Amino acid sequence: MKTVFRTALEIAWADGSMSKKGALIIEKLHDAMKLENSLREKIEEEFYNEILNSRAENGERGEGKGDTELESWVNSLIDNLEDDELEKQVLYLSRRCVEIGLSKEKWLFGIKFTKEFNQSNTFAQGVWMEKNIQVEYNDFLKILEPLANVLNSN
């Protein structure tokens, strides 16, 4: 269950190295998400410990070719972040996941996932019925697809 910024790091470091262009795209995403520095530090620390550390020990090096895929992925996400539908879809997803039964694990993931782009309060308001939305959605913005997949899974 990966969050947006964690996924971005994995794409950027896909072949074992991150290019300068990749690093700039990561910064662009960071700004667009309005990601808190403390949270980013935590995500990067986890990524280092779980992925990069072992790669460094194994002497793995790449050419930073992940930047091409990262660029197109991040551009579509930035559009999503500016979309008025984002908040509505987060509200819908949060309401829907309660209807099908929300576990503690999914609750924690939902909060963690949406916190990266400042929608965790919206998610919580939807879950706890502080806010409601009448619209139904079958398809979701790309940025929300991983969240939808997790919340709808058994």
Partner 1 sequence: MVEPERVLHSVMVIAFERKGIIDENLKIINAVQKELSLGNDEKNDALNHIKKFRGVGDWSGKRDAVVSVAIDRIEEAVEIKLINNPSIQNALKKLIDVTLNQQIPRNNSLSAFEDSEDDTNKNNLQLELNDDTEIESDMKENNPQENTIINKNSLSISETDDFEDFDEDIDPFDLIGGRNPINQQNNSSTYRDPLDELMDEVDDEVIEIETIELNSDNDNKLVNNKKNVEPKNERLEMYRMMLDTVWVDDLIDPSEVALLARKRKELDISFETHMKLVREMLEDSD
Binding site for partner 1 (CB under 8 A): 98-99, 101-105, 107-108, 124-125, 127-130
Which residue, 66 or 126, is less far from partner 1 as judged by CB? Answer: 126
Which residue, 77 or 124, is less far from partner 1 as judged by CB? Answer: 124
Smallest gap from residue 125 Cβ to partner 1 (A): 7
The secondary structure of 3-60 as a DSSP string is: -HHHHHHHHHTTTS---HHHHHHHHHHHHHHT--HHHHHHHHHHHIIIIIHHHHHHT-
Which residue, 74 or 124, is less far from partner 1 as judged by CB? Answer: 124
Smallest gap from residue 87 Cβ to partner 1 (A): 16
Q: Torsion over CA of 103, 43, 71 and 148, rounded to 10 degrees?
A: 0
**Number of neighbours of residue 124 by Cβ within 10 angstroms:** 18
Smallest gap from residue 119 Cβ to partner 1 (A): 14
Beta-carbon contacts of residue 100 (< 8 Å; ≥ 6 apart): 152
Smallest gap from residue 109 Cβ to partner 1 (A): 12
Which residue, 54 or 103, is less far from partner 1 as judged by CB? Answer: 103
